[in-house]
Structure formats: C-alpha cells, structure tokens
Amino acid sequence: MQLAAVLVDQLALDYGLVITNTQALRGGDINKAFRLETSTGSFFLKYNQYPQGNDMLQTEALGLQELAATEAIPVPITHGWGTCQNYHYLLLEDWSKQQAEADFWPSFGRALAKLHQHSAPQFGLSYSNYIASLHQSNELQQDWPTFYWCQRLEPLARAAVDAGLLTQADSVAFDQLALRLHLIFPTAAPALLHGDLWSGNYLISPRGQAGLIDPAIYYGHREMDLAMTKLFGGFSDAFYAAYDEYFPLDQDWEERIKLCQLYPLLVHVHLFGAAYVQAVKEVLKRYK
C-alpha cells in the first residue's frame, strides 16, 4: 500500500516534512496508518476518507491532549491534523520500535488508576466524539445509570433494532435492563476514561511505559475501561493487581464486567454485523 501523493505534498507544505520512506502499518480497522521517515525524524500518520473523518480525527486529537494534560499516563505528541481533498489525517509522534520496561504491567495499572482519579462534576463530556467511526454522544448526566442508558446503550440498541440486527424481543430486554441499572451499579464519581481500552490502543512509550492512543474519552464509570481491557483476552494479572492496590475497586466489580462490555459489543454489532449479536443477547440474559 502506497501513501497517497496528495498527502505527501500536503505534509511537505504544512509541516515542512521531506519524506524519505514510508511503511504501512497494520492493526487498525477504521483508519490507514503509516510510519514516515523524514529528514527531521520519524512520524506516525493515520488517515481516512469517511465523510465524518475530519471530525473523528479532530476529536481524537482533543482526547489525546486532554489525556496528556493529566500527566497520569504517556500519550504521543500531536503534531497536527487536517483535510486534503477527501483525505482526513492526524500526524503524531512515532512510538514504533520501543522496548518495554521490566515493570511495564504494574506501571500501566497504576497509571490507569491515576488517570481514573481525575474527576468531573457530571458524567459525560463537553463535546461529542467518536468510538471507531461511530458518533458518541456525551451529553452530561448527573448519575452513571442514566448516562449509560441514555448516551450509550439506548441509541445503539435502537439503531440495531431499526437495522434488523436485533429483534423487538431484544428491544424489550434492553428496556427491562434500563429499569435495573441503578440497582446494579454502585454509586461512583465520574472518572476520566480512555473509552476504548483494548490491546490495540496502547503502545510502548519512549521511556518503556505503556501509553495510550485512539481515545474515545469521557467521564464515566471507571469499570468501563477495565471491562474493555478484558473483552478480547485481558491484560496481565499484574496490571489489575497494581490498579486495585493504587485505587481499590469494589469487591464485586467483576460481576459487572459483562454489563460494562455491552456498549462495546453494540459498537461491534454496528461495525461488523451479526457475528456479535449473540454476545449481546447473552449479556441481556445474564442481567435479566
């Protein structure tokens, strides 16, 4: 795969980059990604051609900057973003070819716990953003069950029913779940979340620590990030132990993992289709 010539020209014009070599990178389902070798060092470039692509990458850049401002966990430097013809791009610091420190997983757990201690008066965010290519509304709410239903579960569940991916019986099950959310979730302060924390969205930073990429930030229940880490295999046990030591979790938090995974499962239903429908149904049955 070759980097589009129009992007090469735009990066030279906007950032003075003389690109000497490009390397296509794997791992993303939504954007294309390249490592750029230039006369002034290496850079990471991601781009897409979605109609909403500029807004996707702009809010991603804002999320990276808000995470960086906490000084809780490393994030790559954002060099800029923009649109060239129908290409929307984000230019970041290059973190390829880094080596992990010996204390990588415990350090990662403590860093995430520290991030989650950054709070706000309400659940949500002052602007909407995206999870993958899907619009993510962050309208502020006073309590987590209301936010989780109104801003996360209900919009995607309704859209999945309308698209024929879920049934009317599933819709009824979601409505019944909505009535029980306040009984299932304990009261918790809003925590600044990465919002899409799976193994593909962390990298090794130049100092050997874990750093975050591809955020879908908002202030939510901190169990959401932890549940997302477990959706596709989980992180090291040392990660969870260090997190819990730094910022203790409720003893029954693991009983809510599947419920917290319901939102990313709905996202996957919309992105990848019927393969994830049964997993959604199983969660609804579990919390019936």
pLDDT tier for residue 183 given thresholds of 50, 70 and 90: very high
Taking a C-beta distance cutoff of 8 angstroms, is the pair 207, 225 a contact? Answer: no
Q: Which element (helix H / strand E) includes 104?
A: helix 104-116
Per-residue model confidence as pLDDT tens digits over 107-133: 999 999 999 999 999 999 999 999 999
Quick one: fold of 5-93? Answer: Phosphorylase Kinase; domain 1 (3.30.200)
Task: Return the exposure string of 110-139: e unless at least 16 CB atoms fall within 10 Å of the residue's CB, then b.
Answer: bbbbbbbebeeeebbbeeebbbbbbebebe
Domain-by-domain residue ranges, the chain? Answer: 5-93, 104-286
At residue 107, what is the residue type? S
The pLDDT value recorded for residue 28 is 66
Distance CA 196, CA 213 (A): 9
Residues 271, 276, 280, 286, CA torsion sign: negative
Quick one: average pLDDT of 90-106?
Answer: 94
CA distances from 213 to 44, 57, 216, 268 (A): 11, 12, 9, 19
Q: Which element (helix H / strand E) includes 192?
A: strand 191-193
The catalytic residue among 94, 196, 214, 225 is 196
Per-residue model confidence as pLDDT tens digits over 199-216: 999 999 999 999 999 999
Q: Structure pTM?
A: 0.95
Provide the β-strand partners of residue 47. Answer: 32, 89
3-state helix, strand, coil in the chain (%, to 5): 45, 20, 35
**Local structure of 89: helix, strand or coil:** strand
Quick one: fold of 104-286? Answer: Aminoglycoside 3'-phosphotransferase; Chain: A, domain 2 (3.90.1200)
Catalytic residue flag (residue 103): no
CA distances from 105 to 67, 135, 171, 235, 243 (A): 19, 31, 39, 8, 10
Distance CA 211, CA 201 (A): 9
CA distances from 271 to 44, 76, 171, 212, 266 (A): 25, 26, 19, 22, 9
Taking a C-beta distance cutoff of 8 angstroms, is the pair 74, 87 a contact? Answer: no
Per-residue model confidence as pLDDT tens digits over 227-265: 999 999 899 999 999 999 999 999 999 999 999 999 999
